Amino acid sequence: MRHICKIRKIFILSLLLLIICSCTKHHSLEITPINYGNIIFTFSHNVNGESLKFDTMLYHTSLGNSYNVTDLQYFISRVSLHSVKGKWHDIATDNGIHYTDARDNFSCSWWVNDLLPAGTYDTVAFIFGLDQKQNTSGRFTDPPERDMFWPDMLGGGYHYMKMNLKWRNDTMAQSLPFMFHLGIGQVYAANTVNPDSIIGFVQNYFRVSLPCKLDLTAGGYHQVMLQMNMDRWFDGQNAFDFSAYPNGIMQNQEGMFKACMNGRKAFSVTITN
């Protein structure tokens, strides 16, 4: 009888051990971590390859206009990275939206909380500005983003970019201010530039896609530097003449369209692995 009880105990213990081992093995498969890495976006602003200097009449366009930059603020959104395996990974931190003030070093760095699968990425892409779904009035309640508002009568939402300049040419005794502002455009009845004659709106945001090689290692931090090449806003696909828009390009869809066409080529990327 004792022998039978001993065998029964051994059987029960063996069965429990088998169950425990099976559960442990299954659990270990569940918690095996996938390798992830992190990235930091940084933003630089250059003119002809040199760092932008504010408030100095150092810069010239191909049409002979001299200019300086006094303010530069803008949004990028819908930021994503493309893996060589073929998948796009959308950045979720801050809803994929980042505001940059070129005068504020803090805003020129964006620490992304997303854990991205380790591996090689070959493209970084983003929307310059905010798309129609994201660009809703009242989205931002606090400054500085709140102060980028675009008047509701002109389409609402927010500026894609505020670049304030001063400019002059050889025929001018003094420089003049210029508002190089991008946002929703307007279509006016009979070309009468008056809010009461608006008959439609134009979404001027645009997508930028930049080839790169980002080798994201597990546990590592990697810097993705997005460089805005300021001179290309004025000397890209369209040679931009400030004198053609004495009131700036806000409320002038032709001017904003030309600026946006240039802006598509105004960015480059540098990766630090």
Q: Do 2 and 67 lie in a common domain? A: no
Contact 59, 231 (CB under 8 A): yes
Determine the pLDDT at residue 143. Answer: 97
Q: Do 28 and 65 lie in a common domain? A: no
Choose among 233, 245, 271, 253: nearest CA to 59.
233
Q: Do 107 and 205 lie in a common domain? A: yes
Backbone angles phi, psi at 116, to 5 degrees: -100, 135
Q: Do 65 and 9 lie in a common domain? A: no
Determine the pLDDT at residue 191. Answer: 78
Q: Do 26 and 123 lie in a common domain? A: no
Q: Do 242 and 117 lie in a common domain? A: yes
Q: Do 5 and 54 lie in a common domain? A: no
Determine the pLDDT at residue 158. Answer: 98
Q: Do 48 and 25 lie in a common domain? A: no
Domain that holds residue 28: 1-32
Q: Do 84 and 188 lie in a common domain? A: yes
Q: How many domains does the chain have?
A: 2
Beta strand pairing call for 176-182 and 161-168? antiparallel
Dump strand ranges (E) for 48-197: 50-51, 59-60, 66-83, 88-90, 98-101, 109-111, 116-117, 119-128, 161-168, 176-182, 185-188
User: Token digits for 114?
Assistant: 């997303």
Q: Do 153 and 22 lie in a common domain? A: no
Contact 263, 206 (CB under 8 A): yes
Query: In angstroms, how far is CA 221 from the centroid of its own chain?
Result: 19
Determine the pLDDT at residue 255. Answer: 95
Determine the pLDDT at residue 219. Answer: 87
Determine the pLDDT at residue 32. Answer: 33
Q: Do 155 and 70 lie in a common domain? A: yes
pTM value?
A: 0.85
- List average pLDDT for each run of 10 residues in the chain, which is 273 residues long: 44 42 38 74 96 96 95 98 96 97 97 94 98 97 97 97 96 94 95 87 98 92 95 92 93 95 96 82
Q: Do 157 and 63 lie in a common domain? A: yes
